[in-house]
Structure formats: C-alpha cells, structure tokens
Amino acid sequence: MNQNKIKKAVFPVAGMGTRFLPATKANPKEMLPVVDKPLIQYAVEEAIDAGITELIFVTSMSKRPIEDHFDKNYELEAKLAERGKDEVLAMVRDIIPKGVSCVYVRQPEALGLGHAVLCASSVVNYEPFVVLLADELVERVSCNPLSEMIKLYNKHNASVLACLDVAKEEVSKYGILGVEGDFLSSAKVSTMIEKPSMSQAPSTLAAVGRYVLSPKVFDWLKDIKPGAGGEIQLTDALVKLIPEEGLYAYKLEEKRHDCGSKLGYLKATVEHGIKHPELGERFKNYLKKYVNTELS
C-alpha cells in the first residue's frame, strides 16, 4: 500500500533577499540560478520527486517572476518549435509535469517564517504537508531526503524536520535542536530554540529548511507571539508539538548548500558546474588550470 498521502508542499518565497542585493532588487532570490536552473526549481523538483502534486507558493510583491517561471510561455514555446529546438522545448514544457498544480497565496506583511506558513493554511486544508526553503539546496544522490522524511512521518504519525551539525559560531543563524535517541532508529526532538546564542544552544544540530508537518502546527501558529528577531517563528510552533504529538529529527546525510549566503551559493555553483552534463568537463579543466596558475 502506498502510504504517502502527503501531496502538498509549501514554499515560503516572500522574503526580501537582502543578502543578495542588488541582484535581488527586482528579482526574487529564489530565481537566482545555480548554473542554469533557478533555486526554486531545484526545490520544486525535489518535492515532485517525493510524490508532491500540489505546490503552494507563499509570495509577496515583486515575486511575479516565480509565477511566470512555472506558467506556460506560449511565445517562447512557439519560437522554440519554429526553430526545431525540440529538446529545449520539452525541457521548458516539463518544468511542471502533468498532474502537478501550482497555487499562489500572498503573505501581506513580512512577519516571519511561521506567519508565511500560516498564510498557506486555507490551501493546505488541515492535511499533513511539507515545507521547503528554496535557499537550502539539497542534493539527491543516494536518496531523496524528503521522501525519507515522509516515510518517518508516516511511521510515527508525527512531524519531522531535517537537521545537520553546524559549526558553533553558526548556531545563531539557525533553529537549533536538542534530541533524544539516535538517528539510526528514531531521534526525538526534546527542545528547539530559534537563533540561540552559543551559550543557549542545546546542541549544534540545526534545522535546514525541510519539514514534514502535521496540520496541528496551524493551531499553534495562529496564537504564536513574535519571537527571535521580532518575527513569528515556525520553530516556536514546532516546540508546542513536542509534548502534544512528538517531533522527530532526520539527519541529512546528503550534501546541502546554504544558498542564502553568498559563499554557499558560490560553492553550489562551482559544484553543480563541475557535474553539469554539457559543460562539466570543460569547467573542471578550466578550474584546475585556474587553481594551478592563479591560486598557487
């Protein structure tokens, strides 16, 4: 029996992307390309691969390019067909495969990640759902971590979030968890703090932008008061789930790039460039030469 009844994914994409200004002045940060694909498309492909069929984007002003990207572009398709560029045409057409739909809801004010997720509640319609933060680029080499997390959700009937160890100096950038048990069986989250100082942090395990959530989280999000940074934090609602339904941590073994930072974005670009089917070899040769001549 296919247990995966989780069909909806929420993509909070309303943030201003100030760290990438001026590139993000008129363009959403989620549309920044890693080689030839925007960040948001990597996240969408990951979700679809995990069985998601309804994509819910929580947007704001100036996020129109995201809607256009996932919409049909008749003019472009006609031109590509006319020029016989069938391969590119198929690639452009198949960005959103048949059977998958997109819904856009607005977050009227930038009140935080928790508030963004709450904005999607009427579309999620009180079903379990996943949340993906597109600036966290997660590789799918040996498995799709999101699929594994959905399996865990189904096993425990409780929310799951992805985490990994970060450097001590980095804990204040993340939601940090304390866990009980080990990751090989079931690691239960015992506590979680949003953007703690090094001394407050229960560990160095950070939440990294992938969540499989019980709809119960909406009940808490409705009443959560602003927390870290004066924002309505998803973390603060997740903490409320711990005694109520339980909360599980999934340790990400696959590589992940923090594309919300310029350095992480550059690393992702280089690593994806090297693996690119068309230009990977040439790029690798160029890099080797560059490192040997300019950086030695």
Q: Which is nearer to ligand G1P, 218 or 273 (CB)?
A: 218
In which element (H, E) is residue 251 found?
Answer: strand 247-251
Q: Which is nearer to ligand G1P, 80 or 163 (CB)?
A: 163
Answer for which of 56, 194, 217, 220 binds ligand G1P (CB under 6 A) is: 194
| Residue 95 DSSP one-character state | T
Site for ligand G1P in 127-186 (CB under 6 A): 133, 136, 174-175
C-beta of 199: minimal distance to ligand G1P in Å? 18
Decide if residue 235 touches ligand G1P (CB under 6 A): yes
Nearest to 122 by CA among 103, 99, 102, 100: 103
C-beta of 176: minimal distance to ligand G1P in Å? 8
Residue 117 has a CB neighbour count (10 Å cut-off) of 25
**Binding map of ligand G1P across residues 257-276, x = CB under 6 A, - = no contact:** ---x----------------
- Token pair in block for residue 88: 């590119």
Q: Which is nearer to ligand G1P, 256 or 272 (CB)?
A: 256
Nearest to 207 by CA among 231, 229, 185, 237: 237
Q: Which is nearer to ligand G1P, 50 or 113 (CB)?
A: 113
Helices (H), the chain: 39-49, 64-69, 74-82, 86-93, 113-119, 121-124, 145-156, 216-221, 234-244, 262-275, 280-294
Decide if residue 30 touches ligand G1P (CB under 6 A): no
Q: Which is nearer to ligand G1P, 100 or 111 (CB)?
A: 111
- The type of residue at 139 is E
Token pair 């008749």: residue: 74
Candidates 64-72, 116-124, 140-148, 204-212; binding stretch for ligand G1P (CB under 6 A): 204-212
- The type of residue at 168 is K
Which residues lie near ligand G1P (CB under 6 A)?
Answer: 113, 133, 136, 174-175, 194, 206-209, 233-235, 260
